[in-house]
Structure 1
Amino acid sequence: MTGALEGIKVVDLCSVVSGPAAMATLADQGADVVKVEGLSGDITRGGRPQSPGFAPGFVACNRGKRSIALDLKHADGRAILWRLLERADVVAQNYRPGVMERLGFGYTAVAARNPGVVFLSISGVGPKGPYAKKRVYDPTIQALTGFTDIQADPITRRPKMVRTLVADKTTAIYAAQAVTAALLARTRTGKGQYLEVSMLDVMMSFLWPEGMAPFAVVTEDRREAVATPHDMIFETSDGYVTFGTVSDKEWAGLCRALERPDLVADERFATGAQRSANRQLRMETVEAAIAGFSSDNIIARLEANDVPCMKVKTRREALDDPQVIANNIVVEIDQPGLGRTRQARPAARFGDTPSHSPRPAPALGQHSREILIEVGFGDAQIAAFIDEGIVGAVS
């Protein structure tokens, strides 16, 4: 059994997070992903001084790939890249709009030599509009899309960021899905195509169905939708828990668990609509009732009444959670240059075409020689490329 994308050749011209993470997903699923880097390497390689070239974030986004380092300012460097592009099933890049065209490697040029290519361009906001030329990072997109409004402090209304690269990583998943869909389309049409995925488009789409629900009905247009102050984190006598009650049955179960059966008949909470209208009061009432319970006690009570619930854990505690362990989510690999390293396995499990278990990320130019041989260069040419600084290779 081989991975679902076994035999697919990918040229990865991406850097930082969104593009590299998308292509790492394809590598996990069996594609041969060649990461093309400049001679100084992807900027995220340098995120950890203790292990030059192998920051944990870089490893996570580039595991299972091969690396070739090229000087694309040199004509021979560009010629080498062309050999890769002519053989590729997929080309991915996340330069700012227009850069690939100026370099001579835009979709039109590549498709002229390789009509079957699936060419992915990831950008911050897309190729048109007032922000198209702006440099964009994850926080920029969170600010633009209203994500920071959803996260805003409910009392002061000060906007807040999600404290993880949610826009970059979500874009990676959307992009990987788009590539596989285009590869499927190619099996039916025989043609490749151009794919455009922007972080802005992704995150605006991601905010539906609930994030933009207050603004969905056009005839009820409004300027703001202020969230209630409660964040669904409840303090117990020794920690924090969360739980949710959507149905009447779950609400009744919560009331029993809290030893407050009177709340079931309370007209302010009798239906889902009434509970929603009185959300803040409901949360404060529940918060007061839960304060005397320990986390273990209230979780046991909630589970006994079939109420969705969980202890709130730190990131480190999550690694040792029995369900995380049962799912074999976290694996350890030996990463050269970094040591024993934890990685999350590919999330999707394939019954007949299993994905690779996480594999190490490459050193800069680690595979330059073997890749050059594969595309037809001889030993003398390769040695000259390296001696002249056109190709970077591990000695």
Structure 2
Amino acid sequence: MAVHRDLFDDTHEDFRSSFRAFVRSEIEPHHEKWETRGRVDRTMFLAAGAAGFLGMAVPEEYGGLGEPDFRYNVIISEELQRANVIGSGMCITLHNDIVLPYLLTATTPEQRARWLPGTVTGETMGAISMTEPGTGSDLASIRTTAVRDGDDYVLNGSKTFVTNGLNADLVVVAVKTDPERRHRGMSLIVVEEGAPGFTRGRALKKIGLKSQDTAELFFDDARVPAGNLLGEPGTGFGTLMRNLAQERVALSVSAIAGARAVLEWTVDYCRGRTAFGERLSSFQNTKFVLAELTTATEVAQVYVDYLIRRHVAGELTAEEAAKAKWWTTELQQDVVNRCLQLHGGYGFMQEYPVARAFLDARVQTIYGGTNEIMKEIIGRSLDAPGERA
């Protein structure tokens, strides 16, 4: 790609080289097996911890690097997309990008001492559980309840589409501690493996990201220590909103990296493939399609890099993250679809990377908040008092 990126220094690039080698040795050889199985081996996650690729932002006193620099997370996402193994590596990105912020910002010193060391070593894999059957993106309407009973909370309800749902040791669960209120009655509780009444349902079969385990979770009078509550009762919705900005910019990073990877494979394919005695890359239609997609992708990369800088500086807003999430994930859909078309019949064959990328990319416009919700967030900000042009 022609975009000059000055986001990264030599330390970041050393980290990239190390993680690229890790992907090559610990993920790529096993990816097909995990795709078939629908779940990665925990040994890979432990190896990621041992190599320093988990919990980079965790303070040194808990075993981390003390590097709250989101650019390391960016590098991991980019390398997973480059290798076309995002499904197998998502246990790492979800753990680092989405779960850890809750354990870093909403916890007490006792909770941090209890949970953070394992999240760095890989002994503790995290997940977050918000979506319920029938609620989708409407978080304020969740029905899973948590009622205080002595030193415990008793949870009842179910969750679905939980990434890392089978492998996770620790799940941040959105619950209603005051069911009579909507978002003001929501709280976050950490449910750990082995909690009485907590069970995992079936592994959900997906059209893409097949090696990333996605599951249903059930709470049937599940008892969780009251000390596992994150923050104060009723503050869960606000905590979710604060952390969703990072989740959405992380999805933007993955989307634009995925689009760039597919473009590179397609350019190489068109240079090497012939039709009617000519290279595909010599046809005007091919040139025009690749010109359009390359331009759009490079422009989007500049915007995403701008938001990464803002996030590192602590200035990223929810509206900016929503803009990036919907724009880049829609762009990714366009890139993989049109690049698959340029592959012709081979694009429909699973042994070609563009076919897997096509399937893996489809969920990007759905999870992390659908793109329709992203537009609603952006639209509300434009209609706010004092914000109109």
Which bin holds the TM-score, normalised by the shorter protein? under 0.3
Q: Which has the larger radius of gyration?
A: 1
Q: Does 1 or 2 have the higher relative contact order (CA < 8 Å, sep 6+)?
A: 1
